[in-house]
Amino acid sequence: MWIVGIGIILLYNLLIFYIGYNVWVWLKSLRGDRKSIKYIFWSVLFLLAYSFVFARWLNESIFITWLGAIWLSFFYFFVMLFPLANLAVFLSRFTKVPKQKFVKWTGFLTLTIMVCSFFYGMYNAYSPVYKTYQINIPKAVEGVENLTIIMASDMHFGDLSGGGQAKKLVEFINAKNPDLVLFPGDIIDDDVTPFLEEGIPEIFKEINAPVYASLGNHDRDEVDLVAVFNNSGMNVLDDDVLLLPEGITLVGRKDKGYRDVVRAELSTLMKQVDLSKPVILLEHQPYDLDIAEENGVDLIVSGHTHRGQVAPGNLITSRLFENDFGYLKKGELQSIVSSGYGFWGLPIRIGTRSEIVEIKITFNP
């Protein structure tokens, strides 16, 4: 593993040099070769490049946290756009436009695209869309013909997404007046402190429907998160089975990403379940759909993938997961995967949108 780590660090530093060289060439096209500021430029660049690392050390600094997040966003744009800009400059030799002039205006165009894309990506990240799925579970539920569920995953509440986003989510949930609310994991972003300081537990208590949650790979801290979330108006199912008054069974699993925690086999949990009634599984990472199908699960709700969050990440998630986004029917099993309400690392989404999912279920044998 340490070899992989060293390789990643070397690659990252090479990319920083690549970005720095291109930016310096562009700056020279504007002001000439200013050797007096060359060392300042490279020093500032490397401070920016490692600002997200400093943010981990300085947990109390919102400024450094945002600086690191903005840098990572622009790093993504640099890597995506600079090769195209380099190709354009190379092809300019076949035109009559002076190279320095071409570099100058190519740089301005690239900068404009990056800035506009950044704000567009932030809009996608902070302005969720509302997606509705209408499905049928072919089992009878006495006294219940329809059920409305609101599902939100991957909120990643933290320094970059706080009380405002939580209030927006609660307002939408209450406006829809659902029967159930499901949160399948990644409620916080590794640190519960902002979740508490932003008053999100009290905000969540305003939800006018029963809330059930499972934990995700980012729901980890040195405190008992199950207790914290239960005290926030949620009912956490952590390798637990719950029979609702209507006869519907909810199963919530420990996250697959907890390497130091042994989670129960799904077959063991399902021994407690009446398979003649609907079974809904909260599974943060959408793995092992075949196992869920074999054990009689009717609906599995998941998140985790973010649908890649920024293109072309969706090409990776579509290869990793049988269902990385949206709806999939596998035998009698129905799978719904959300792209997530929040975001991770970069406060942007390109090619994806934050979303809140509404699931309208009919029970018709």
User: Among residues of the chain, what percentage have pLDDT more than 70?
Assistant: 97
Say if residue 188 is in the same domain as residue 280: yes
Q: How far is 182 from 353, CA to CA, in rounded Å?
A: 19
pLDDT band at 215 (very low <50, low <70, confident <90, very high): very high
Contact 133, 360 (CB under 8 A): yes
Amino acid letter, 108: F
DSSP 8-state assignment for residue 348: -
Say if residue 33 is in the same domain as residue 118: yes
Q: Is 288 left (phi over 0), alpha (psi -120 to 50) or beta?
A: left
Pair of tokens at residue 31: 């002001």
Contact 289, 300 (CB under 8 A): yes
Total domains, the chain: 2
Place of tokens 């947990």: 59
Say if residue 327 is in the same domain as residue 234: yes
pLDDT band at 125 (very low <50, low <70, confident <90, very high): very high
What local confidence, expressed as pLDDT, does residue 33 receive? 65
pLDDT by residue (tens digit) across 22-47? 999 999 888 766 677 888 899 999 99
What local confidence, expressed as pLDDT, does residue 221 receive? 85
Say if residue 359 is in the same domain as residue 266: yes
What local confidence, expressed as pLDDT, does residue 364 receive? 87
Residue finishing a domain among 77, 109, 125: 125
Residue finishing a domain among 81, 99, 125: 125
Contact 326, 336 (CB under 8 A): yes
Parent domain of 34: 2-125
pTM for the whole structure:
0.93
Is the per-residue pLDDT at 156 higher than 90?
A: yes
What local confidence, expressed as pLDDT, does residue 45 receive? 95
What local confidence, expressed as pLDDT, does residue 256 receive? 87
pLDDT band at 62 (very low <50, low <70, confident <90, very high): confident
Say if residue 110 is in the same domain as residue 145: no
Say if residue 105 is in the same domain as residue 160: no
Contact 324, 286 (CB under 8 A): yes
pLDDT by residue (tens digit) across 253-282? 999 876 667 889 999 999 999 999 999 999
Say if residue 24 is in the same domain as residue 79: yes
Say if residue 166 is in the same domain as residue 197: yes
Residue finishing a domain among 77, 102, 125: 125
CATH at residue 219: 3.60.21.10
Say if residue 341 is in the same domain as residue 206: yes
Say if residue 162 is in the same domain as residue 282: yes
Say if residue 188 is in the same domain as residue 85: no
Say if residue 114 is in the same domain as residue 188: no
What is the mean predicted confidence (pLDDT) over 210-221?
94
Q: What is the CA radius of gyration of the chain?
A: 24
